[in-house]
Structure 1
């Protein structure tokens, strides 16, 4: 099931809306419509009330998109590739192939998103300030009293929320922007993995305190704090683990970890014969080769889709994956992990000059990571 829909491209980056955003957008509009002045429009006639509220919800997530585009622009300028930007219930996510290890580049990328939010907020609040009554102080006008004009109130709301987004995002809670800023600063004085662990630790502690505070105030909306705390804690843990894995696999060549004794099968073999082969050689996936030419790959997952009574009549050619994803002997293990993750597969065929020379699996990568962890203890 597709959970996101693409609505266009900006700077060559696919822009997607997650189903959670599509579900929550009307809720945001309804909240703005029923809220009193300052953060709502319930003092306006019904048609205008809902028009302004829906506009506020759409503009809010447009600003989130601009925030993510700020990150992406700096990343692209420094040679990174952005696969997509997806807008979720809690904000936006830029899907990047790899976060640069250079602390200065990561600092620029991390600060660029909040910087965009701050610029938007500052510009919009400056516009609102131009309409300040002569007998009212600027502080009172922007922070204490609701803006009377509904259209100007919309501008004020989006500006104010963007300033809050800036402040929230620079909190040093990894993997939020502030956490990445913290890691980039720490990485200038210690190893990248130690900096990641330290920043992740701060992020987890922040999530724990936020969760406790949310639990104590659950009756007045603390549930949302608990939910955000949960995502921050999980995100920090996953980012820490992903960094450890990438560092463990760095410098490891495919030729050093691949299985060189490759057992292949031919496309005319029946599924029943394939199962016998799997039992005999104890492998869960096999390249399919006819007359020395690779045709695809077949795995136990493919076999499971065939009913038992049909396994003598169904051929490997009917169930194999024909789009063979391959890797070269001199590629590194990190590239193999990225390919497996991106394509949701468990093994890659290794080729050299159109000849299959080996096969590398998730198990091979896991073994390398376990050895690396044991050596670092």
Structure 2
């Protein structure tokens, strides 16, 4: 690994774990966090959790697992050029979607609506719940007991109400920055942007593979069209190989975005001149696109929203997926014994309706797409997702 910049997170100066543990003899604390995440139950489930297309719709579409790996790869590449901690970037990237529900954002929205009046549902906060409480692998504590810096990066967004609850339970912990209006580490900021770069690119690929998007439609997107046109100039034969043309355009787009982030972030760092990690937290966001790339990236996001995420075929599946989540929630809330024994016992021992609802939300959020669909079919007798 390249030498760390002074504003990078150094595991030797970590703010530590909630439960003190001896230092590992051959791994840094961030490497140890990564290994705990990779071996967790929640990480394995990501292979059967959807991105845009539900898991049963095709074997070649991205899942939460493949997405997380792509974010980690992009993040490490950028971190290396900026002198940031690659291990921490990889760790946050691999963990950032652990709390996502089945059926992607459709499932999240449905579960949030079910939890109205019980504290709501935020997938970033759920990812933190997974690593802090829900994983059960160690004799002395719940969760994975990750470092502060990893947990800070996992909690990308948080409502003020939930930040206040976190601050009350853990003064000066991961909720504090949301109350003070501060930023996370550069490694966490980088994961946020690598996440955006990855899903924009792979949603183009999956959208075309599904037949819901065409290369002709994508020509109206300036960010993509630039690289498609360049690829054809350099390789005219790609006009007869649309799949190769798509891959080459996406490859060039990804490379340019990575270089843009590196250059724009170096300029922002030179202007802010942070000397340590705490200077980063007090500064504006420093890991960034250039203004021109940011505008073009937003244009691509708007295109995908209109033409892919709101495509009638996707919306029809979304509606059925949300029905599955809503009906599972109602069934488990009414009859907790329908859940797995450990969750049923937690629900029975819960103090009040909101505590019981949270147990049900934890159970549903941990489901894979296919398990949620099969549970719904078992309980209701309906096959909504085939």
Give the TM-score, by structure 2 length. Answer: 0.25
Which has the larger share of helix?
Answer: 2
Give the TM-score, by structure 1 length. Answer: 0.25
